[in-house]
């Protein structure tokens, strides 16, 4: 049933796609798109689970391996966008993502791109620099990082976006191009959540 749902999604989306879906084991997250939906939300929070390991070379600095264990992501909501400079919808979407990043990073949101199927690193760097994109990306031309993510995530759908909560569990998946107005309320809602034992921003108890 999962395979049928994923095939239905890929046939309906207007984004860029190529190759075959890859399945990998890791974490406890399992992607399921009920009824072939392109916007999937995992609520209540107790229904969420963590993906497999996410790590790869920094697009801007090949000597640095980026991962969700980096301090810039610790305790934050993390928006993960799968993109390629060769993908038309990605070109339109990336500035929308930057707008949401600018609006939410002070509230505890981090962004991470995964640049896939780009065999020319410089072209990808030029893409982000020309658009003044200030959040980092993993350079993943062979899609090893995305495959290791696991959970039967449909790797043919580009662009796509995942949103992880502060515990780095998958809270939302978008299998389409996004506008800032699509993503911002989702990120803002998640930044109001917090790991167990930590009160969300703006909801501290009265001082004594």
Residue-wise burial string across 151-167, b where 16 or more C-beta atoms lie within 10 A, e elsewhere: bbbbbbbbbbbbbbbbb
Alpha carbons 132 and 102: distance in angstroms, whole number: 12
In this prediction, residue 13 carries a pLDDT of 42
- Among all chains, which residue has been given the structure tokens 């309320």? 185
Question: Is the whole model's pTM more than 0.75, yes or no?
Answer: yes
In this prediction, residue 201 carries a pLDDT of 52
109 contacts 191 by C-beta, under 8 angstroms = yes
* Domains assigned to the chain: 2-191 (3.40.30.10)
Q: Which of 61, 56, 38 is nearest to 113 (CA)?
A: 56
In this prediction, residue 186 carries a pLDDT of 98
Alpha carbons 179 and 187: distance in angstroms, whole number: 13
Alpha-carbon separation of residue 47 from 29, 36, 175 (angstroms): 10, 19, 20
pLDDT mean values, one per 10 residues, the chain (208 residues): 36 46 50 82 92 93 95 96 97 97 97 97 98 98 87 86 96 96 98 68 49
In this prediction, residue 89 carries a pLDDT of 97
Alpha carbons 24 and 40: distance in angstroms, whole number: 20
């Amino acid at each position: 049933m999962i395979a049928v749902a994923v095939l239905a999604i890929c046939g309906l989306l207007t984004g860029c796609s190529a190759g075959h879906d890859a399945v990998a084991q890791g974490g406890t997250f399992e992607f399921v798109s009920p009824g072939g939906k392109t916007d999937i939300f995992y609520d209540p929070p107790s229904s969420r689970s963590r993906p497999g390991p996410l790590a790869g070379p920094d697009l801007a600095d090949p000597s640095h391996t980026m991962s969700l264990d980096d301090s810039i992501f610790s305790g934050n909501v993390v928006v993960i966008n799968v993109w390629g400079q060769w993908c038309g919808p990605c070109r339109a979407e990336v500035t929308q993502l930057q707008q949401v990043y600018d609006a939410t990073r002070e509230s505890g949101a981090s962004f991470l791109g995964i640049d896939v199927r780009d065999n020319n690193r410089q072209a990808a760097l030029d893409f982000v620099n020309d658009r003044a994109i200030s959040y980092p990306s993993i350079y993943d031309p062979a899609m090893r990082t995305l495959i290791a993510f696991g959970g039967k995530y449909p790797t043919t759908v580009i662009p796509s976006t995942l949103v992880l909560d502060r515990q780095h569990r998958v809270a939302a998946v978008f299998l389409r191009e996004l506008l800032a107005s699509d993503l911002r309320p989702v990120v803002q809602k998640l930044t109001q959540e917090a790991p167990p034992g930590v009160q969300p921003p703006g909801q501290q108890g009265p001082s004594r």
